[in-house]
A and B are shown apart, each in its own frame.
Chain A
Amino acid sequence: MLAGMAAVNPEVCYDREGEVIYRRKKAEKVGIVSGGGSGHEPAHAGYVGMGMLDAAVAGNVFASPDPARILNGIEHADSGRGVLLVIKNYSGDIMNFEMAADLAADMDIPVRSVVVRDDVAVKESTYSTGRRGIAGTVFVHKIAGARAEAGGTLEEVAELAQRTADNVRSFGVSLSSCILPAVGTPGFTIGEGQMELGMGIHGEPGIEQTAMKQASEIAEIMVEKITADLDYSGAETAVIVNGLGGTPLMELYILAGEIDQKLRAKNITPVKYLTGNFMTSLEMAGASMSMLRLDDEMKQYLTAPCGTMAWKEG
Protein backbone atom coordinates (compact mmCIF):
# COMPACT_ATOMS: atom_id res chain seq x y z
CA MET A 1 0.00 0.00 0.00
CA LEU A 2 2.73 2.49 0.98
CA ALA A 3 4.77 1.47 -2.06
CA GLY A 4 1.76 2.40 -4.18
CA MET A 5 1.36 5.74 -2.45
CA ALA A 6 5.00 6.52 -3.15
CA ALA A 7 4.66 5.31 -6.76
CA VAL A 8 1.85 7.75 -7.51
CA ASN A 9 3.35 10.71 -5.64
CA PRO A 10 6.78 11.87 -6.84
CA GLU A 11 7.12 14.23 -3.85
CA VAL A 12 7.57 11.41 -1.33
CA CYS A 13 9.81 8.41 -0.73
CA TYR A 14 9.02 5.10 0.90
CA ASP A 15 11.34 3.63 3.51
CA ARG A 16 10.33 -0.01 3.28
CA GLU A 17 12.39 -1.06 6.31
CA GLY A 18 10.73 1.43 8.62
CA GLU A 19 7.28 1.62 6.96
CA VAL A 20 7.72 5.38 6.66
CA ILE A 21 6.64 7.76 3.91
CA TYR A 22 8.74 10.94 3.96
CA ARG A 23 9.29 14.06 1.90
CA ARG A 24 11.77 13.59 -0.91
CA LYS A 25 13.28 17.02 -0.29
CA LYS A 26 14.15 17.49 3.36
CA ALA A 27 13.19 21.03 4.38
CA GLU A 28 15.29 23.12 6.78
CA LYS A 29 12.55 23.57 9.36
CA VAL A 30 10.80 21.97 12.30
CA GLY A 31 9.77 18.47 11.22
CA ILE A 32 6.18 17.27 11.62
CA VAL A 33 5.59 13.54 12.08
CA SER A 34 2.31 11.71 12.47
CA GLY A 35 1.14 8.18 12.00
CA GLY A 36 -0.81 5.33 13.46
CA GLY A 37 -2.48 2.17 12.32
CA SER A 38 -3.22 1.61 8.65
CA GLY A 39 -6.76 1.41 7.31
CA HIS A 40 -7.46 5.14 7.61
CA GLU A 41 -6.16 6.23 4.20
CA PRO A 42 -5.38 8.83 3.05
CA ALA A 43 -4.29 9.33 6.70
CA HIS A 44 -1.51 9.65 7.35
CA ALA A 45 0.85 9.12 4.42
CA GLY A 46 -1.41 11.12 2.09
CA TYR A 47 -0.62 14.25 4.12
CA VAL A 48 3.13 14.09 3.62
CA GLY A 49 4.40 16.97 1.51
CA MET A 50 4.98 20.69 1.39
CA GLY A 51 3.10 22.56 4.12
CA MET A 52 1.94 19.51 6.10
CA LEU A 53 3.79 16.40 7.33
CA ASP A 54 7.44 15.56 6.78
CA ALA A 55 7.00 11.89 7.60
CA ALA A 56 4.14 9.50 8.29
CA VAL A 57 4.70 6.21 10.09
CA ALA A 58 2.34 3.31 9.47
CA GLY A 59 1.51 0.36 11.68
CA ASN A 60 -0.48 -2.70 10.68
CA VAL A 61 -4.21 -2.30 10.12
CA PHE A 62 -5.64 -0.51 13.17
CA ALA A 63 -2.44 -1.12 15.20
CA SER A 64 0.13 1.45 16.28
CA PRO A 65 3.56 1.39 14.67
CA ASP A 66 6.34 0.39 17.09
CA PRO A 67 8.78 2.96 18.52
CA ALA A 68 11.65 1.89 16.26
CA ARG A 69 9.59 2.73 13.19
CA ILE A 70 8.44 6.02 14.68
CA LEU A 71 12.03 6.90 15.58
CA ASN A 72 12.91 6.20 11.97
CA GLY A 73 10.21 8.67 10.91
CA ILE A 74 11.56 11.25 13.36
CA GLU A 75 15.05 10.86 11.89
CA HIS A 76 13.71 11.34 8.36
CA ALA A 77 11.91 14.52 9.45
CA ASP A 78 14.63 16.04 11.59
CA SER A 79 16.72 18.80 10.04
CA GLY A 80 18.25 19.89 13.33
CA ARG A 81 15.38 22.15 14.42
CA GLY A 82 13.39 19.54 16.28
CA VAL A 83 10.34 17.48 15.52
CA LEU A 84 6.68 17.73 16.49
CA LEU A 85 4.72 14.49 16.86
CA VAL A 86 0.98 14.67 16.16
CA ILE A 87 -0.61 11.74 17.98
CA LYS A 88 -4.20 10.52 18.03
CA ASN A 89 -5.39 9.64 21.51
CA TYR A 90 -5.28 5.84 21.68
CA SER A 91 -3.35 4.04 24.40
CA GLY A 92 -1.23 2.08 21.90
CA ASP A 93 -0.33 5.15 19.87
CA ILE A 94 0.46 7.18 22.97
CA MET A 95 2.79 4.55 24.42
CA ASN A 96 4.64 3.92 21.18
CA PHE A 97 5.02 7.59 20.22
CA GLU A 98 6.13 8.58 23.73
CA MET A 99 8.69 5.79 23.74
CA ALA A 100 9.95 6.97 20.36
CA ALA A 101 10.16 10.52 21.73
CA ASP A 102 12.31 9.23 24.61
CA LEU A 103 14.60 7.42 22.18
CA ALA A 104 14.88 10.57 20.05
CA ALA A 105 15.75 12.61 23.15
CA ASP A 106 18.58 10.14 23.83
CA MET A 107 19.85 11.02 20.35
CA ASP A 108 19.60 14.76 21.17
CA ILE A 109 16.72 15.38 18.78
CA PRO A 110 14.33 17.82 20.48
CA VAL A 111 10.79 16.42 20.28
CA ARG A 112 7.44 17.84 21.30
CA SER A 113 4.10 16.07 21.11
CA VAL A 114 0.52 17.11 20.68
CA VAL A 115 -2.27 14.64 21.36
CA VAL A 116 -5.55 15.06 19.47
CA ARG A 117 -8.74 14.03 21.26
CA ASP A 118 -11.55 15.50 19.17
CA ASP A 119 -14.26 12.81 19.28
CA VAL A 120 -17.09 14.20 21.42
CA ALA A 121 -18.87 10.81 21.41
CA VAL A 122 -16.54 9.66 24.18
CA LYS A 123 -16.76 11.08 27.67
CA GLU A 124 -13.49 12.36 29.11
CA SER A 125 -12.45 10.18 32.01
CA THR A 126 -9.48 10.03 34.31
CA TYR A 127 -9.23 6.23 34.15
CA SER A 128 -9.71 5.32 30.53
CA THR A 129 -7.69 6.79 27.74
CA GLY A 130 -10.49 9.28 27.16
CA ARG A 131 -11.57 10.90 23.94
CA ARG A 132 -10.39 9.35 20.72
CA GLY A 133 -8.52 11.24 18.05
CA ILE A 134 -10.30 11.19 14.68
CA ALA A 135 -10.57 13.32 11.53
CA GLY A 136 -10.02 16.64 13.31
CA THR A 137 -6.38 15.57 13.48
CA VAL A 138 -6.03 16.61 9.82
CA PHE A 139 -6.48 20.26 10.84
CA VAL A 140 -3.58 19.88 13.25
CA HIS A 141 -1.41 18.43 10.48
CA LYS A 142 -2.27 21.35 8.23
CA ILE A 143 -1.87 24.22 10.63
CA ALA A 144 1.24 22.89 12.38
CA GLY A 145 2.72 22.05 8.99
CA ALA A 146 2.12 25.55 7.64
CA ARG A 147 3.53 27.15 10.79
CA ALA A 148 6.67 25.04 10.45
CA GLU A 149 6.95 25.82 6.74
CA ALA A 150 6.82 29.53 7.63
CA GLY A 151 9.90 29.09 9.81
CA GLY A 152 8.31 28.70 13.24
CA THR A 153 10.42 27.35 16.09
CA LEU A 154 9.53 24.03 17.69
CA GLU A 155 7.94 25.93 20.60
CA GLU A 156 5.83 28.08 18.28
CA VAL A 157 4.75 25.16 16.13
CA ALA A 158 3.87 23.04 19.16
CA GLU A 159 1.92 25.87 20.77
CA LEU A 160 -0.19 26.48 17.66
CA ALA A 161 -0.70 22.75 17.11
CA GLN A 162 -1.94 22.40 20.69
CA ARG A 163 -4.27 25.37 20.26
CA THR A 164 -5.66 23.81 17.08
CA ALA A 165 -6.20 20.48 18.86
CA ASP A 166 -7.93 22.31 21.71
CA ASN A 167 -10.36 24.01 19.33
CA VAL A 168 -11.50 21.10 17.17
CA ARG A 169 -14.39 18.73 17.84
CA SER A 170 -15.73 15.82 15.81
CA PHE A 171 -18.66 13.42 15.73
CA GLY A 172 -19.28 10.46 13.44
CA VAL A 173 -22.09 8.12 12.44
CA SER A 174 -21.72 4.67 10.91
CA LEU A 175 -24.07 2.73 8.69
CA SER A 176 -21.98 -0.43 8.39
CA SER A 177 -19.00 -2.12 9.98
CA CYS A 178 -15.63 -2.85 8.42
CA ILE A 179 -13.65 -6.07 8.00
CA LEU A 180 -10.03 -6.35 9.10
CA PRO A 181 -8.24 -8.14 6.27
CA ALA A 182 -6.34 -10.38 8.71
CA VAL A 183 -9.54 -11.41 10.48
CA GLY A 184 -11.89 -11.73 7.52
CA THR A 185 -15.14 -11.19 9.38
CA PRO A 186 -16.64 -8.01 10.81
CA GLY A 187 -16.00 -7.48 14.53
CA PHE A 188 -19.56 -6.21 14.96
CA THR A 189 -22.63 -5.64 12.81
CA ILE A 190 -25.14 -2.88 12.35
CA GLY A 191 -28.60 -4.13 11.41
CA GLU A 192 -30.25 -3.34 8.10
CA GLY A 193 -31.86 0.09 8.26
CA GLN A 194 -29.93 0.92 11.44
CA MET A 195 -27.10 3.33 12.14
CA GLU A 196 -24.74 3.82 15.06
CA LEU A 197 -24.07 7.26 16.48
CA GLY A 198 -20.58 8.03 17.69
CA MET A 199 -18.80 4.89 16.56
CA GLY A 200 -15.00 5.09 16.56
CA ILE A 201 -12.83 4.78 13.47
CA HIS A 202 -11.86 1.25 14.52
CA GLY A 203 -15.45 0.24 15.12
CA GLU A 204 -15.35 1.03 18.83
CA PRO A 205 -18.89 1.13 20.24
CA GLY A 206 -20.72 4.42 19.88
CA ILE A 207 -23.34 5.96 22.11
CA GLU A 208 -26.49 4.48 20.57
CA GLN A 209 -27.92 2.50 17.67
CA THR A 210 -30.93 4.02 16.05
CA ALA A 211 -33.07 3.72 12.92
CA MET A 212 -31.52 5.22 9.80
CA LYS A 213 -32.11 8.94 9.58
CA GLN A 214 -32.32 11.57 6.85
CA ALA A 215 -29.26 13.68 6.03
CA SER A 216 -30.87 16.70 7.65
CA GLU A 217 -31.44 14.80 10.90
CA ILE A 218 -27.88 13.44 10.85
CA ALA A 219 -26.53 16.93 10.27
CA GLU A 220 -28.65 18.18 13.16
CA ILE A 221 -27.20 15.53 15.52
CA MET A 222 -23.62 16.22 14.44
CA VAL A 223 -23.94 20.00 14.81
CA GLU A 224 -25.71 19.69 18.16
CA LYS A 225 -23.17 17.25 19.64
CA ILE A 226 -20.25 19.36 18.50
CA THR A 227 -21.60 22.77 19.47
CA ALA A 228 -22.76 21.46 22.85
CA ASP A 229 -19.15 20.65 23.67
CA LEU A 230 -17.45 23.87 22.61
CA ASP A 231 -18.80 27.40 22.22
CA TYR A 232 -18.64 28.28 18.53
CA SER A 233 -21.16 31.14 18.61
CA GLY A 234 -20.18 34.01 16.35
CA ALA A 235 -17.00 32.22 15.34
CA GLU A 236 -15.47 31.57 11.96
CA THR A 237 -14.87 27.87 11.52
CA ALA A 238 -13.39 25.27 9.22
CA VAL A 239 -15.34 22.07 8.65
CA ILE A 240 -14.39 18.60 7.42
CA VAL A 241 -17.26 16.49 6.14
CA ASN A 242 -15.40 13.22 6.14
CA GLY A 243 -16.35 9.95 4.52
CA LEU A 244 -15.44 6.77 6.42
CA GLY A 245 -14.58 4.82 3.27
CA GLY A 246 -17.85 3.40 1.97
CA THR A 247 -19.92 6.52 1.49
CA PRO A 248 -20.42 8.09 -1.97
CA LEU A 249 -19.16 11.64 -2.34
CA MET A 250 -22.67 12.56 -3.48
CA GLU A 251 -24.01 11.75 -0.03
CA LEU A 252 -21.22 13.71 1.65
CA TYR A 253 -22.17 16.80 -0.36
CA ILE A 254 -25.80 16.39 0.63
CA LEU A 255 -24.71 16.14 4.26
CA ALA A 256 -22.39 19.16 3.86
CA GLY A 257 -25.29 21.25 2.52
CA GLU A 258 -27.44 20.35 5.51
CA ILE A 259 -24.59 21.04 7.94
CA ASP A 260 -23.99 24.45 6.38
CA GLN A 261 -27.64 25.48 6.88
CA LYS A 262 -27.63 24.40 10.51
CA LEU A 263 -24.39 26.24 11.23
CA ARG A 264 -25.51 29.49 9.65
CA ALA A 265 -28.78 29.30 11.58
CA LYS A 266 -26.62 29.22 14.73
CA ASN A 267 -24.60 32.27 13.69
CA ILE A 268 -21.52 30.14 12.99
CA THR A 269 -19.64 31.05 9.82
CA PRO A 270 -17.84 28.23 8.04
CA VAL A 271 -15.09 29.83 5.97
CA LYS A 272 -13.50 26.62 4.77
CA TYR A 273 -14.93 23.21 3.90
CA LEU A 274 -13.19 19.96 3.12
CA THR A 275 -15.52 17.31 1.77
CA GLY A 276 -14.32 13.81 0.98
CA ASN A 277 -12.39 10.90 2.46
CA PHE A 278 -9.82 12.36 4.85
CA MET A 279 -9.67 9.74 7.60
CA THR A 280 -11.40 6.49 6.78
CA SER A 281 -12.13 3.13 8.45
CA LEU A 282 -11.47 0.67 5.63
CA GLU A 283 -14.81 0.19 3.81
CA MET A 284 -17.07 1.47 6.59
CA ALA A 285 -20.14 3.35 5.41
CA GLY A 286 -20.70 6.53 7.33
CA ALA A 287 -19.42 10.03 7.84
CA SER A 288 -17.99 12.30 10.45
CA MET A 289 -18.03 16.03 10.91
CA SER A 290 -15.07 17.90 12.38
CA MET A 291 -15.21 21.61 13.13
CA LEU A 292 -12.37 23.92 14.10
CA ARG A 293 -12.99 27.25 15.83
CA LEU A 294 -10.60 29.61 14.10
CA ASP A 295 -8.63 32.57 15.31
CA ASP A 296 -6.63 34.83 12.98
CA GLU A 297 -3.44 32.85 13.27
CA MET A 298 -5.08 29.49 12.73
CA LYS A 299 -6.99 30.90 9.76
CA GLN A 300 -3.80 32.26 8.22
CA TYR A 301 -2.04 28.91 8.38
CA LEU A 302 -5.12 26.90 7.47
CA THR A 303 -5.29 28.68 4.13
CA ALA A 304 -1.51 28.84 3.52
CA PRO A 305 -0.24 26.82 0.56
CA CYS A 306 0.31 23.09 0.85
CA GLY A 307 0.92 20.37 -1.66
CA THR A 308 0.13 16.86 -0.53
CA MET A 309 -1.73 14.00 -2.16
CA ALA A 310 -4.84 14.45 -0.02
CA TRP A 311 -4.90 18.22 0.59
CA LYS A 312 -3.71 20.89 -1.83
CA GLU A 313 -4.00 24.58 -1.10
CA GLY A 314 -2.86 27.64 -3.05
Chain B
Amino acid sequence: MGFQITPKEYVDYIILAGEEIEKNGEYVTALDAKTGDGDHWVNLNSGFQKLISMQEELKTMELAPMLKKIGMTLMSAIGGSSGVLYGSGYLAASKALKEAGTLDIDTLYVFLQTELNAIMERGKAKPGWKTMIDSLYEGVEAYGAAKEAGQDERQVMEALKRGAQEGRDRTREMEAVKGRASYQTHKGVGELDPGAVTMCIQLECLSDYILNHKL
Protein backbone atom coordinates (compact mmCIF):
# COMPACT_ATOMS: atom_id res chain seq x y z
CA MET B 1 0.00 0.00 0.00
CA GLY B 2 1.55 3.27 -1.14
CA PHE B 3 0.96 6.78 0.07
CA GLN B 4 -2.48 8.39 0.27
CA ILE B 5 -2.88 12.15 0.59
CA THR B 6 -6.26 13.16 1.94
CA PRO B 7 -7.74 16.54 0.99
CA LYS B 8 -6.95 17.71 4.53
CA GLU B 9 -3.31 16.72 4.07
CA TYR B 10 -3.20 18.48 0.73
CA VAL B 11 -4.07 21.67 2.61
CA ASP B 12 -1.14 20.95 4.94
CA TYR B 13 1.09 20.80 1.86
CA ILE B 14 -0.36 24.13 0.63
CA ILE B 15 0.54 25.68 3.98
CA LEU B 16 4.13 24.42 3.69
CA ALA B 17 4.41 25.68 0.13
CA GLY B 18 2.96 29.04 1.16
CA GLU B 19 5.55 29.34 3.94
CA GLU B 20 8.36 28.47 1.56
CA ILE B 21 7.14 30.99 -1.04
CA GLU B 22 6.91 33.62 1.71
CA LYS B 23 10.56 32.96 2.66
CA ASN B 24 11.80 33.43 -0.89
CA GLY B 25 10.28 36.87 -1.43
CA GLU B 26 13.42 38.93 -1.75
CA TYR B 27 15.16 36.41 -3.97
CA VAL B 28 12.28 35.97 -6.42
CA THR B 29 11.50 39.68 -6.58
CA ALA B 30 15.12 40.58 -7.29
CA LEU B 31 15.15 37.99 -10.08
CA ASP B 32 11.88 39.29 -11.49
CA ALA B 33 13.04 42.91 -11.41
CA LYS B 34 15.80 41.95 -13.85
CA THR B 35 13.54 40.41 -16.46
CA GLY B 36 9.90 41.18 -15.70
CA ASP B 37 7.50 43.49 -13.91
CA GLY B 38 8.80 42.68 -10.45
CA ASP B 39 5.35 41.80 -9.18
CA HIS B 40 5.31 38.02 -9.63
CA TRP B 41 6.20 37.11 -6.06
CA VAL B 42 3.89 39.69 -4.46
CA ASN B 43 0.96 38.36 -6.46
CA LEU B 44 1.71 34.65 -6.01
CA ASN B 45 2.40 35.11 -2.33
CA SER B 46 -0.90 36.89 -1.76
CA GLY B 47 -2.61 33.93 -3.45
CA PHE B 48 -1.01 31.39 -1.14
CA GLN B 49 -1.51 33.55 1.96
CA LYS B 50 -5.18 33.76 1.03
CA LEU B 51 -5.33 29.94 0.86
CA ILE B 52 -3.61 29.67 4.23
CA SER B 53 -6.17 32.04 5.72
CA MET B 54 -8.92 29.75 4.37
CA GLN B 55 -7.38 26.51 5.67
CA GLU B 56 -10.20 25.69 8.10
CA GLU B 57 -12.81 25.91 5.35
CA LEU B 58 -10.66 24.01 2.82
CA LYS B 59 -10.04 21.20 5.29
CA THR B 60 -13.75 20.40 5.49
CA MET B 61 -14.01 19.79 1.73
CA GLU B 62 -13.85 16.74 -0.54
CA LEU B 63 -10.92 16.55 -2.98
CA ALA B 64 -12.51 17.75 -6.26
CA PRO B 65 -14.46 20.70 -4.80
CA MET B 66 -11.45 21.64 -2.72
CA LEU B 67 -9.22 21.77 -5.80
CA LYS B 68 -11.84 23.89 -7.56
CA LYS B 69 -11.99 26.25 -4.59
CA ILE B 70 -8.20 26.53 -4.56
CA GLY B 71 -8.23 27.30 -8.29
CA MET B 72 -10.90 29.98 -8.04
CA THR B 73 -9.13 31.54 -5.06
CA LEU B 74 -5.72 31.63 -6.77
CA MET B 75 -7.29 33.07 -9.91
CA SER B 76 -8.73 36.05 -8.04
CA ALA B 77 -6.06 36.53 -5.40
CA ILE B 78 -3.02 36.22 -7.70
CA GLY B 79 -4.66 37.95 -10.63
CA GLY B 80 -2.97 38.65 -13.96
CA SER B 81 -1.60 35.85 -16.07
CA SER B 82 -0.19 33.73 -13.23
CA GLY B 83 -3.56 33.72 -11.50
CA VAL B 84 -5.47 32.45 -14.48
CA LEU B 85 -2.78 29.87 -15.27
CA TYR B 86 -2.73 28.40 -11.76
CA GLY B 87 -6.51 28.67 -11.69
CA SER B 88 -6.82 26.76 -14.96
CA GLY B 89 -4.47 24.07 -13.67
CA TYR B 90 -6.41 23.48 -10.46
CA LEU B 91 -9.82 23.66 -12.14
CA ALA B 92 -8.82 21.11 -14.76
CA ALA B 93 -7.39 18.86 -12.04
CA SER B 94 -10.64 19.17 -10.10
CA LYS B 95 -12.56 17.90 -13.13
CA ALA B 96 -10.10 15.10 -13.86
CA LEU B 97 -10.20 13.88 -10.25
CA LYS B 98 -13.97 13.94 -9.75
CA GLU B 99 -13.98 10.27 -8.78
CA ALA B 100 -10.81 10.30 -6.70
CA GLY B 101 -11.13 10.76 -2.95
CA THR B 102 -7.41 11.00 -2.26
CA LEU B 103 -4.12 11.45 -4.09
CA ASP B 104 -1.95 8.36 -4.48
CA ILE B 105 0.97 7.60 -6.78
CA ASP B 106 -1.39 7.30 -9.78
CA THR B 107 -3.90 10.07 -9.12
CA LEU B 108 -1.17 12.53 -8.16
CA TYR B 109 0.41 11.84 -11.53
CA VAL B 110 -2.94 12.49 -13.23
CA PHE B 111 -3.21 15.69 -11.17
CA LEU B 112 0.18 17.05 -12.25
CA GLN B 113 -0.19 15.98 -15.86
CA THR B 114 -3.64 17.59 -16.09
CA GLU B 115 -2.33 20.75 -14.48
CA LEU B 116 0.56 20.87 -16.95
CA ASN B 117 -1.69 20.40 -19.97
CA ALA B 118 -4.20 22.96 -18.76
CA ILE B 119 -1.50 25.58 -18.18
CA MET B 120 0.07 24.94 -21.59
CA GLU B 121 -3.29 25.19 -23.29
CA ARG B 122 -4.44 28.31 -21.45
CA GLY B 123 -1.10 30.06 -21.89
CA LYS B 124 -0.65 28.74 -25.45
CA ALA B 125 2.92 28.02 -24.41
CA LYS B 126 5.32 25.10 -24.61
CA PRO B 127 8.24 23.73 -22.65
CA GLY B 128 11.45 25.57 -23.51
CA TRP B 129 9.83 29.03 -23.50
CA LYS B 130 11.33 30.06 -20.17
CA THR B 131 8.18 29.89 -18.06
CA MET B 132 6.65 28.14 -15.05
CA ILE B 133 5.87 25.31 -17.47
CA ASP B 134 9.54 24.26 -17.63
CA SER B 135 9.71 23.20 -13.97
CA LEU B 136 6.38 21.43 -14.11
CA TYR B 137 7.08 19.73 -17.43
CA GLU B 138 10.43 18.29 -16.39
CA GLY B 139 9.00 17.24 -13.02
CA VAL B 140 6.04 15.44 -14.62
CA GLU B 141 8.28 13.78 -17.21
CA ALA B 142 10.64 12.49 -14.54
CA TYR B 143 7.71 11.34 -12.39
CA GLY B 144 6.23 9.41 -15.33
CA ALA B 145 9.53 7.85 -16.33
CA ALA B 146 10.35 6.70 -12.79
CA LYS B 147 6.86 5.27 -12.31
CA GLU B 148 7.02 3.53 -15.66
CA ALA B 149 10.38 2.04 -14.77
CA GLY B 150 8.83 0.47 -11.68
CA GLN B 151 10.84 2.46 -9.16
CA ASP B 152 9.52 2.61 -5.61
CA GLU B 153 7.44 5.56 -4.47
CA ARG B 154 10.30 7.19 -2.64
CA GLN B 155 12.39 7.16 -5.82
CA VAL B 156 9.48 8.48 -7.86
CA MET B 157 9.07 11.44 -5.51
CA GLU B 158 12.80 12.10 -5.63
CA ALA B 159 12.57 12.04 -9.42
CA LEU B 160 9.72 14.57 -9.40
CA LYS B 161 11.77 16.94 -7.28
CA ARG B 162 14.95 16.51 -9.31
CA GLY B 163 13.09 16.96 -12.58
CA ALA B 164 11.49 20.18 -11.39
CA GLN B 165 14.86 21.52 -10.28
CA GLU B 166 16.47 20.64 -13.61
CA GLY B 167 13.61 22.30 -15.49
CA ARG B 168 13.99 25.40 -13.35
CA ASP B 169 17.78 25.51 -13.92
CA ARG B 170 17.39 25.07 -17.65
CA THR B 171 15.38 28.29 -17.88
CA ARG B 172 18.64 30.17 -17.24
CA GLU B 173 19.79 29.58 -20.80
CA MET B 174 16.38 29.88 -22.45
CA GLU B 175 15.06 32.86 -24.38
CA ALA B 176 11.70 34.19 -23.27
CA VAL B 177 9.01 33.88 -25.93
CA LYS B 178 6.12 35.33 -23.97
CA GLY B 179 5.66 38.01 -21.34
CA ARG B 180 7.66 41.06 -20.44
CA ALA B 181 11.11 39.43 -20.71
CA SER B 182 10.47 38.66 -24.39
CA TYR B 183 10.56 42.41 -25.16
CA GLN B 184 14.12 42.71 -23.89
CA THR B 185 16.95 42.38 -26.36
CA HIS B 186 18.67 39.58 -24.45
CA LYS B 187 15.27 37.94 -23.79
CA GLY B 188 16.19 37.16 -20.19
CA VAL B 189 19.07 34.83 -21.09
CA GLY B 190 21.40 34.31 -18.13
CA GLU B 191 18.69 34.58 -15.49
CA LEU B 192 16.32 31.97 -14.10
CA ASP B 193 12.66 32.52 -14.85
CA PRO B 194 10.88 33.66 -11.65
CA GLY B 195 7.73 31.72 -12.56
CA ALA B 196 9.78 28.52 -12.97
CA VAL B 197 11.44 29.20 -9.61
CA THR B 198 8.15 29.51 -7.73
CA MET B 199 6.64 26.51 -9.52
CA CYS B 200 9.71 24.51 -8.52
CA ILE B 201 9.30 25.56 -4.88
CA GLN B 202 5.79 24.10 -4.90
CA LEU B 203 6.88 20.80 -6.45
CA GLU B 204 9.81 20.50 -4.02
CA CYS B 205 7.41 21.06 -1.11
CA LEU B 206 4.96 18.50 -2.48
CA SER B 207 7.67 15.92 -2.92
CA ASP B 208 9.20 16.68 0.51
CA TYR B 209 5.81 16.54 2.19
CA ILE B 210 5.22 13.05 0.83
CA LEU B 211 8.79 11.88 1.52
CA ASN B 212 8.77 13.21 5.10
CA HIS B 213 5.24 12.44 6.18
CA LYS B 214 3.82 9.71 3.99
CA LEU B 215 6.68 7.33 3.09
Contact = CB atoms under 8 A, between A and B. Distances in A.
A98 interface: yes
Nearest to B129: A127
Interface residues of B, number: 19
B85 A66 contact: no
Given A98-B122, A128-B182, A67 B81 contact: no
A96 interface: yes
B79 A127 contact: no
Contacts of A66: 75-76, 79, 83-84
B122 A99 contact: yes
Interface string A94-132: 011011001100000000000000000000000111000
B177 A127 contact: yes
Where chain B touches its partner, the secondary structure class is helix
A199 to B, nearest CB: 14
Nearest to B73: A68
Most buried by B among A64, A66, A96: A66
Contacts of A2: none
A25 B32 CA distance: 46
B168 to A, nearest CB: 22
B177 A64 contact: no
B79 A99 contact: no
A99 B81 contact: no
Nearest to B179: A91
Given A127-B177, A128-B182, A95 B76 contact: no
Interface of A: 60, 63-64, 66-69, 91-92, 95-96, 98-99, 102-103, 127-129, 205
Interface of B: 72, 75-76, 79-81, 83-85, 87-88, 91, 122-123, 177-179, 182-183
Contact of B88 (A92, A99, A129): A99
Nearest to A103: B91
Contacts of B72: 68
A64 B75 CA distance: 12
B90 to A, nearest CB: 11
A96 B79 CA distance: 9
Given A92-B80, A92-B81, A128-B182, A67 B122 contact: no
A253 B87 CA distance: 46
11 contacts: A66-B75, A66-B79, A67-B75, A69-B76, A91-B179, A92-B80, A92-B84, A95-B84, A103-B91, A128-B182, A129-B178
Contacts of A127: 177
B163 to A, nearest CB: 26
A68 B76 contact: yes
B79 A63 contact: yes
Nearest to B178: A91
Nearest to B88: A99
A270 B22 CA distance: 58
Given A95-B122, A128-B182, A67 B80 contact: no
